[in-house]
Structures are given as C-alpha cells and as structure tokens.
Structure 1
C-alpha cells in the first residue's frame, strides 16, 4: 500500500511538474476563453512557442547542466543547485513573452508568461537562503491566473478553478508525503506563486 502511495505521489509530481503547467494553461486559454476565436494557425503557433520556451529549452538545459555536473539530479532537489535552472527558466519565459507580443491581441498571454518569469525570479531569490516548493509555486500561479480571468471576464473559469484548487491540495500532500518539503515550504510556494502572479498580471 505504501509503495502504491509513493508511486501515486511521484506520478502526481510529474504530471503537475512546473515545466508542463504552462502547457495546460495555454490549452485552457485557447479552448475555454475569448482566445478560442483565434484561427487554428495562430493557436498552433502559440502552442509551439509555449512548448519550446517552457518545456523544450528548459529540459535541454537541465540535460546540459547534468552532463556538466552542475546538478546532481534532474529533480534538482538540492536548494543551491536550483539557482542556474531557475535563472534559465526566467529568461525563457521572458523570451516567450517577447515572442507572443508579436500578436497584439494576445496581451493577456504575454502577461501570463511575464508572471511565470516573475515566479521564477521569486523562487531564485528565495532559494539562495531557503528551499521553497517550486511545484506549489506553479500551482499557486495557476490558481491566481484562473481567479484573475474570472474577475476580468476573460472566460468562465469556475470549473477549472475548482479543479486547480483540488489538484493543488493533492500535490501539496504528495510533496509532503515524499518528504521533499515541509508544510512551511509548501505553503510559502503556493502563496508566493499566487501573490506574485496577481501582481504581475495586474501591473506588468
């Protein structure tokens, strides 16, 4: 039973990995909001841009860092080993925002990527002194975006919001069960991601 719980916790950690959360969000945005009216070509372009900058380049960067001995594991569990990957992630999100800015009507999507970059920077700063949960930072950002979209009328996000909150709770439990973080690190990650994302979307 314990082995099953451990596998479930690991599976949830990978399915809700910070790398893939932007992909889930862009799919939601392009199907359930006003952005669903974009042409298929524009949707494919935006999907490719997000996959490239949020998943492909960061994943390749981890591979390079691992081969150079700069990180000991692809999970990057060591606090000090996170600094360079987080910096690369922040740069990738900024580049993604710049690329998306080529579509003037996609201003909210650009803000989404800038918010992700700000979350990376926040985690980078905190990781210099303390181990914060990157997974829950990502989930906090997702919940914040869905709340803001509901308020701004970008789309009816109540069902996705409820699902995101439930998944955030499940992910927090998984990270605690695996011993990757304590309760304070999980809570700080979620709250930090939420607050930074709201501020970034509203003011950037």
Structure 2
C-alpha cells in the first residue's frame, strides 16, 4: 500500500520549524559558523547566542504564557488579529533591548542591525494589525532573505547557498500557511514583501 502524505501535518511542521521565534536562532548559528564571526572566541560566541536566545525566544515565549494566563490571548498561535498587538509590542521591545545589549560589542554591528531590523518588522506588523491581518511567519522570512542578500552584497560571507535555502523555505512556508487557511495570498505576499523591504532599509540606514 503506497504511503499517503499527510499534508496538514507537513504544513504544521513547516510552520513550526520556520516559526518567527526560531529564525533569529538559525541566523545567529549561521553567522557564528559561516562568517567572520566564526573567528570569535568561544566565550564571545556563547554570550552572543545567550543574548539572542534570551531576548528573541525566552522572554517573548514567557510573555505569551503570561498573556495567555491573563486571558489576553486565546491561543499561543495568536491567530486573532486583534490579539496580536500586545505580543508584537513585546517582541519589538525585546529586539530593541537585544540591539542595545549587542551595541556593547562594536565588532558585531551587523548583528545589532539585524536586531533593529527585526524590531522594525515587529512594528510594521503591529501597525498593519490595527486594520488588517498580515502573515507574521512570512514577514520573518522576508527579513531573513533580506539579511542574506545584504550579507552577500556587503561581503560578510558567502551566503548563496543559505540564501537559496531561505528562498525555498519561504516558498514552502507560504504554501503551508495558505494550505492551513491561516492567510490568503495577499496577506502572505504583504508579509514577505514588507519584511524584506523594512529589514533591508533598516540594515542599510539604521
């Protein structure tokens, strides 16, 4: 009997693997292994990884737990547009705090810029969510693709393979979100395009 693919489970798996909370972790791992950051001492690498995990993952996840316990959000997926405002505000503040913390190390200015770009993307989603639902997943992927493009242009590292993987991942993620009925085509396109544009401008000018 031929194996039948469970597309719903696959779509959920892609959505979790490429969740916005995890994207900064993937990027810091890439930066610390495939760029000039790989030359940093082990203790500096550990510090950078810990700072990213703290501000981009642990605090936002804990904030979601608090908001859920207080009844401010009905689900950890935060599918309701109106329930996204507080989590997005918390996310923006966390990314800014992360950027401020990283500013203590002048040699990681590129990483600091990425955190500022991530904060700007959170603000973009916050403003849009006041009136309309935008894909947070694709906004994050747009920012990742923008970072890799800028890295290639700036010569920070040879990112053609990671860039190709990110673009394919963005396509798979868009398909997954559409298949699950979480968003329509315009919301997915606006998320990716908005994340790419805002992140690019933030990294170049902020």
TM-score above 0.5, yes or no: yes
Shift of 1:2: 8.1
Unmatched runs of 5 consecutive residues or more in structure 2: none
Compute the TM-score of the two structures, normalised by the length of structure 1.
0.99
Shift of 1:34: 1.1
Distance 2:40 2:194 in 1: 32
Distance 1:106 1:8 in 2: 36
Unmatched runs of 5 consecutive residues or more in structure 1: none
The aligned runs of 1:40-59 (5 Å cut-off) are: 40-59=42-61
Shift of 1:14: 0.6
- Per-residue displacement from partner, 1:15-67 (whole Å, max 9, x unpaired)? 10000100000110111111111110000000000000000000000000000
The aligned runs of 1:60-75 (5 Å cut-off) are: 60-75=62-77
Compute the TM-score of the two structures, normalised by the length of structure 2.
0.98
Q: 2:138 aligns with which of 136, 153, 160?
A: 136
**4+ aligned runs moved over 2 Å, structure 1:** none
Q: Secondary structure at the match of 2:121?
A: helix
Shift of 1:3: 7.5
Distance 2:163 2:173 in 1: 15
Structure 2 partner of 1:15: 17
Structure 1 partner of 2:195: 193
Q: How many positions carry a matched residue from both structures?
A: 204
Structure 1 partner of 2:105: 103
Distance 1:59 1:39 in 2: 29
Distance 2:49 2:138 in 1: 23
Q: Secondary structure at the match of 2:6?
A: helix
Structure 1 partner of 2:166: 164
